[in-house]
Chain A
Amino acid sequence: MSGVSDIYQEVILDHNKKPRNYKVVKDANHYCHGVNPLCGDDYHVFVKTTPEGVIDDIGFQGEGCAISKASASMMTSNVKGKPISEATEAICHFIELITRDCLEEKKEAMGSLMAFEGVRKFPVRVKCAALAWRALEKALKNESIKDKPSENELMISTE
């Protein structure tokens, strides 16, 4: 049963229990709704960037499995304060990490996100880990800002 700890590492369980940046960013200028219809993972990602293109604030809301929630939480911590170009690069590196073997030097830059390396052994869970990152990618491309729900619409509790 060693496989269990490959995927459910301490840091992942911690972020699942206490997700960081779990909030609506009221004045967000980037937004995307990410859904995984197969398992029902469902997240809203809000990003506020400065005129210079730096991620000033980021938040997420929604419900899903531990992998998807921890991944979303750690993503927000990772990209906050980064220029959009660096965040986009981080997205690529993360997707690479969970889908194939990547170079050692890239791994070093990943920091605590390395906890998701084990997800590769669970192909059906790759989508869970990737969900928020794919949503951020879309949000940064500004594809769906018009769909951003009002704060009231997001007051739904799924507990």
Chain B
Amino acid sequence: MAMAVSDKKNEKKVKEDFPLLWRQMNGQPLVYLDNAATTQKPLSVINRITEFYKNEYATVHRGVYALSQDSTIECELVRDKCRGFLNASMKEEIVFVRGATEAINLVVSTYGEEHVGAGDEVIITTIEHHANLVPWQQLCERKKAILQVVPVNDRGELDMTAYEKLLSNKTKIVAVGHVSNALGTINPVEEITQLAHTVGAKVLIDGAQAVPHLSVDVQKINCDFYVFSSHKVYGPTGIGVLFGKKAILEKMKPYQYGGDMIESVRFEKTTFAQVPQKFEAGTPAIAEIVGLGAAITYLELLGYEWIQRHEGDLLAYGTQQLQKVKDLRIIGTAKNKASVISFVLGHIHAHDIGSILDQCGIAIRAGHHCAQPTMKRFGVPATVRASFAVYNTHEDIDKLIQGLKRVQEVFA
């Protein structure tokens, strides 16, 4: 493993672990600031997947031969690693899915389908990603239930008084993002969960944007479900995790039917496997699971203490430098924020900014960030978003500022 993290203080060393960041874009050294969309992969993850395919790959859970048994053991080790990563109490509470989107859809179409009825209510927030909005909205439409939306203040923080007022014995589910992908707001998920439980509602936390930045403890949050995607935490695409409390998962109906999720099959009747296999029909994304394991190992080596300090520095420096840019307005100024900065620049459209920054070798996100209601709340059609990861440097931010000056020259 190419580990360059021994000198944790040196941000440039971390960058060296990510081969893609060694390349150029449009003839300029690449500055990758679209980490809230997806993250690049360290060499250790890439090598682990390659090694696994070269020497260890076979199906899981059914082969009687050694290769398959070892492959199964490897995947189950990663399941336990994910348990530790979220501090779940047992590994049976970790279900492998394709990603956060599938995890939410799984809960909607099993738990939601069974427990939400006509006149019931589901609570989400104004600043949800479409993935934690549309599935609930469609469920409510099907069930003639009501979708309630917690408003946010002008800083992009949840209005907790309004949230408390929305809670009632009609509330069946509260689904909230841990960190807003568009604004970076860190929501008070412990308090949200505790309040929801007082009315007997179950809580799903969408952690897709949180796990890259924060150390997560599902027992401390006490949420009923927690979801995240591997590709946003330096792992491969196509794999993610649904955490669910075991007692709840056990009562839920299967999500998909097929092989690997059954106990016995007769034409008259099929009995299903125990959790978590009950929710894992078909051959899983085996190599991706192994890759996710390597990504978690990488994060553990860096340590969340370092990650939070480094990304906190980048957020503070980035905010300070961006505020100095004329006509620039930051959208989302919550007190408690992850390293995501959304902004607008005078009357220049986000896509024009994106195209010019692209020519400067800088990759940022320009658009509505799959959060159109969030954009509407702040009265903007789109924003530019710079989101920082472990491998970003203060120099990256300086280059972003230079790029924005170039944008202003073009549109002067």
Enumerate chain A interface residues (CB-CB to B < 8 A): 1, 3-4, 7-8, 13, 38-40, 42, 63-67, 122, 124-125, 128, 158-159
In the assembly, what is the distance between CA of A39 and CA of B383, in Å?
A: 10
B9-43 Cβ-contact flags toward A at 8 Å (1 or 0): 00000000000000000101000000000000000
Partner of A38, one of B359, B367, B406: B367
Are A40 and B356 touching (Cβ within 8 A)? no
Cβ-based interface call for B411 (8 A): yes
Partner of B368, one of A40, A124, A158: A40
With A39-B367, A40-B367, A64-B349: A8-B381 Cβ-Cβ less than 8 Å: no
> How distant is B38 from chain A, measured CB to nearest CB, in Å?
17
Are A158 and B351 touching (Cβ within 8 A)? no
With A8-B356, A65-B349, A66-B411: A3-B26 Cβ-Cβ less than 8 Å: yes
- Residues from chain A with Cβ under 8 Å of B348 in the complex: 66
Max count, chain B CB within 10 A of own CB: residue among A13, A65, A67, A159: A65
> How distant is B214 from chain A, measured CB to nearest CB, in Å?
30
* Closest residue of B by beta carbon distance from A2: B359
With A4-B356, A40-B367, A40-B368: A128-B410 Cβ-Cβ less than 8 Å: no
* Closest residue of A by beta carbon distance from B379: A158
Are B367 and A8 touching (Cβ within 8 A)? no
In the assembly, what is the distance between CA of A106 and CA of B362, in Å?
A: 36
- Residues from chain A with Cβ under 8 Å of B381 in the complex: 40, 42, 63, 158
In the assembly, what is the distance between CA of A116 and CA of B178, in Å?
A: 43
Partner of B411, one of A13, A67, A124: A13
- Residues from chain A with Cβ under 8 Å of B360 in the complex: 1
Cβ-based interface call for B382 (8 A): yes
With A4-B359, A13-B410: A40-B382 Cβ-Cβ less than 8 Å: yes
- Residues from chain A with Cβ under 8 Å of B350 in the complex: 39, 65
Are A125 and B406 touching (Cβ within 8 A)? no
Are A39 and B351 touching (Cβ within 8 A)? yes
8 A-B residue pairings within 8 Å (CB atoms):
A1-B28, A4-B356, A4-B359, A7-B355, A13-B410, A40-B375, A42-B381, A64-B349
Partner of A125, one of B26, B351, B410: B351
Cβ-based interface call for B191 (8 A): no
In the assembly, what is the distance between CA of A158 and CA of B381, in Å?
A: 9
